[in-house]
Amino acid sequence: MTRTAIILLNYNGLSIFGAKIFKTFLESLLKSITSDDVVLFVDNGSIDESTKFVESVFNEYLAKGLLDIVRLRRNYGWSGGNNRGAVYALRKYNPTFLVFVNNDVIFTRSWIDNLLKYMSLGNLAIASPLVYEVGLKAFHLGDLVLSDGGVKPIILEPRQLSFLKHRHRLRYVRIPSANGSALAVHSKVFRTLRGFDEEFKAYYDEVDFCYRALKLGVRIGVVLESIVYHFGSLTIKGISGLVNKKISLTTESSLYFMAKHFKLKGLSGTLLSNTKWAIKLTLYGDLRGLMGVLRGLVYGIPKALRTIL
């Protein structure tokens, strides 16, 4: 039985990053795995030549069975694409662990072994490595959900991390929601939760997944001995237009999340928070951001109301 199926979800990675950077991301992942692992390159309806590039450049890994390619006919979003990759992996490889990774991450050689060490011992059933956000120059451990529907990232500067690791000798830290850019899940937990909620097009998807897991008593944590480097939202930045897509999707997802878990009280608080956000963006003259909030409200409110009713 395969130890780990690592699902790398891709959408137009070749055209967004360019051949050199795209190759660097994938190569770092493939060089970090063992013969007991397999990487699934799940192409989420790309319209560029990403898949052909991977087939050509990494043919050796395909031949050895360390790399597999799954082509999806359209873009199913983060949750939908990962769910389809997971179903494929579970049927074909029956892995003990599923690991979901973004395509804008550099992986260290020992990240996967160090991450799974504590999962194999039963300490954690959902875990993420320490994710160093290159743009922030800090580590993103996971997220906290605020009462107004916002998500507050748990951020540690390098010196703070050093204090935790050496002064307190911590090897992992329990958290309420793991980082979705590199998220490991025991296969039994994934099956129990029936995967990610596909009503989330992007953002809040892993927060919702972890929130549901916590209700079942599942242990979630970040492993301090495992490190990856995230270059942050490069895929969403590659989508231009009159509307700030990230703000739009964040707004929509926040409304749905709060309505799903906290009903009308949660929805009303999130509506107020997003209204204040729209006013601030108007005052700052950020038209793209304002259009993003408004679009998120248009799509998010009906979805949230359907959830409550």
pLDDT at residue 146, rounded to an integer: 83
- Four-point Cα dihedral 33, 37, 39, 40, nearest 10: -170
Q: How many CB atoms lie within 10 A of CB 96?
A: 17
pLDDT at residue 236, rounded to an integer: 53
Q: Is the dihedral of CA 121, 124, 127, 132 positive or negative?
A: negative
Q: Residue 155: which pLDDT band, with cuts at 50, 70 and 90? A: very high
Paired sense of beta strands 126-133 and 138-145, if any: antiparallel
What is the Cβ-side half-sphere exposure of residue 218, based on CA atoms within 13 angstroms? 26
pLDDT at residue 100, rounded to an integer: 98
Looking at the DSSP bridge assignments, the partners of residue 127 are 184, 221
Distance of alpha carbon 209 from its chain centroid, rounded? 11
In CATH, the number for domain 4-232 is 3.90.550.10
> What's the DSSP call for residue 48?
S
Distance (Å, rounded) from C-alpha 78 to C-alpha 174?
Answer: 24
- Four-point Cα dihedral 17, 22, 24, 29, nearest 10: 130
Distance (Å, rounded) from C-alpha 243 to C-alpha 8?
Answer: 27
C-alpha angle 232-235-238 in degrees, rounded to nearest 5:
115
The domain ranges of the chain are 4-232, 245-308
Tell which residue, 227, 224, 229, 183, has the closest CA to residue 206.
183
pLDDT in tens, 242-301: 889 999 999 999 999 999 999 999 999 999 999 999 999 999 999 999 999 999 999 999
Helices (H), the chain: 13-17, 19-30, 50-57, 59-63, 77-92, 111-120, 158-162, 187-193, 205-215, 234-237, 245-284, 287-308
Environment class of residue 236 by beta-carbon count within 10 Å: exposed (0-12), middle (13-18) or buried (19+)? middle
- Four-point Cα dihedral 276, 281, 282, 284, nearest 10: 130
Mean pLDDT estimate for the chain: 93
Above 80 in pLDDT, residue 166?
Answer: no
pLDDT at residue 35, rounded to an integer: 94
Tell which residue, 118, 82, 83, 95, has the closest CA to residue 34.
95
pLDDT at residue 145, rounded to an integer: 82
Above 70 in pLDDT, residue 176?
Answer: yes
Distance (Å, rounded) from C-alpha 235 to C-alpha 81?
Answer: 14
pTM for this model (two decimals):
0.92
Residue 265 structure tokens: 């009280």
